[in-house]
Structure 1
């Protein structure tokens, strides 16, 4: 039988992996050209990785605490809580970028906001499913 602390760590690990895969496919394949074209004057030529790592670690912890743990037995509730959290977090980021960065494109604001909402909801489901299937 899995101890409660192990379930939290397992759910967190599954969520990190899920987010890394989702964002990797989104940023590296699906929307790569869109971001490159729309933000060409703003992107670095050399990627700095440590801010991404800090973001993923902290954000997945927030998703676990705010969306997954309160609704860990109900996938739909976890999905909705994750979507609300994603809409708030990515909305704050994208609207702030749009308001303070010259030439920040409104389509990127809306697309990234929708992506963050969706990704956070899916990551929340992965955490809730981990709890559900380890509750034996």
Structure 2
């Protein structure tokens, strides 16, 4: 159980840093420009924390766990990338389908980001856990 909690903590740290940089620095101008009126002035912290808790659980269970079981960084990369694509497609394509004026350009950028960020998180988490015996 402690190994699992450790794996979760590694994934949370990696994804938190990546997504924080993405949302706060890299993609901020794009989101402000394309989603300006849709963005909440004060984001719902409870909903945000719930997303990160659940999403990191998904990365740990669906990507890192099988990668460690197979001793395969490729498994981490593929499972993480597919999880990211599916999760971010769920959000973005649903918005595109039901929200008037939701920008298609944001959808493409988000799909790429979700795929890459989740794959990188899974691979880095896998690599760290392989090097720390207590996390294997």
Shift of residue 22, structure 1, vs aligned partner: 0.4
Is 1:9 the counterpart of 2:1? The answer is no
- CA distance in structure 2 between the aligned counterparts of 1:7 and 1:65, rounded to whole angstroms: 13
- Unaligned ranges ≥5, structure 1: none
Higher-helix-fraction structure: 2
Taking only aligned residues, the RMSD between alpha carbons, in angstroms, comes to 1.2
What's the TM-score once normalised by structure 2's chain length? 0.92
- Unaligned ranges ≥5, structure 2: none
Runs of 4+ in 1 over 3 A off after TM superposition: none
What's the TM-score once normalised by structure 1's chain length? 0.92
2:114 to 104, 113, 116: 116
Give the match for residue 133 of structure 2.
135
SS for the counterpart of 1:40 is helix
Superposition pairs of residues 11-50 of structure 1, within 5 angstroms = 11-50=7-46
- CA distance in structure 2 between the aligned counterparts of 1:83 and 1:65, rounded to whole angstroms: 14
SS for the counterpart of 2:36 is coil
Is 1:106 the counterpart of 2:109? The answer is no
Contact 2:93–2:107 (Cα < 8 Å) also in 1: yes
- CA distance in structure 2 between the aligned counterparts of 1:44 and 1:77, rounded to whole angstroms: 37
State the aligned residue count: 132
- CA distance in structure 2 between the aligned counterparts of 1:12 and 1:126, rounded to whole angstroms: 12
